[in-house]
Amino acid sequence: MFHSFNQNYNETREGVLCGRCKSGLSQTVTTTVCRDCSSPRWYIPLLTTLIGGFLLVALVTAFNIGVSPIFDVLLFFVQSVYVAVSNQTGYESFLSISVFNLDFTLDQCITSNLGALTRLLLQYATPIYILLLLLTIISLTKIKRVAKYLGQHSILHALWLLILISYLNIAKTTFEIVHCQNIGPLDDRRYVLVYDASIQCWSGGHLAWALIAVLLAAFFILPFPFYVWLATQSHKLKPVSDVYTSIYKDTHR
């Protein structure tokens, strides 16, 4: 029924709407470009994520980095560029723009057959890793020597600042997971994932991740601006609201 779609539109892709790479090729960890991944170097993205995430958390925590007018403008710029070039060429990693979106991975092959859905899910890896690092630091504050040192710095500022940085990455990935469309003739329509038309949406392996994405969107992504507003209305959450509203105070005008 889908013979009109099963044509090779370029030299590297095949299948329904060219949704998957040809045999012997694979998507890289950061882009949808199909490459020869017969010799995957999975350890390079792993090491860059582990080291980059650790250094970022250490930097933000040690220097008590918060939101400032310059940082706000820079973050807006690099995240705009990230949206514009993401999934296209991998240049965002080369330009270090992905660092501001908690994406430290390089344009490398991690397996000889990386699927579209798996590649999307891997984009959650760095934010989760960053969160685990921060939770570890928070748990270490129970140790007196560590608490004495960290008492000079704002762990809460670090937590909310990194949430702000990672928000675009998480939101983009979440909506990509549920980005589906109908294809095929009217008598044989299929609802498939845009990034790989061989994946049937809301069924099989896609169903569980789609439900998680919907819950994430419902309880974090969409209401996040409301959470920030709520923080500004509570004195108990003032350290949180300061992260987002300090740039609008009179001292920055």
Q: Is residue 98 pLDDT above 50, yes or no?
A: yes
Residue of 244, 251, 247 whose CA lies nearest to 229: 244
Residue of 201, 181, 206, 177 whose CA lies nearest to 5: 181
Amino acid at 200: Q
Q: How open is the CA angle 143-53-196, to the nearest 5 degrees?
A: 135
188-219 residue pLDDT tens: 888 999 888 889 999 988 999 999 999 999 99
Alpha-carbon span 148 to 238, nearest angstrom: 22
Contact (CB, 8 A) for 182 and 191: yes
163-177 residue pLDDT tens: 878 888 888 889 999
Confidence class for position 226, pLDDT limits 50, 70, 90: confident
Look-up of token digits 């400032």: 68
Contact (CB, 8 A) for 158 and 134: yes
Q: Where are the domains of the chain?
A: 18-252
Alpha-carbon span 161 to 134, nearest angstrom: 12
Alpha-carbon span 84 to 80, nearest angstrom: 6
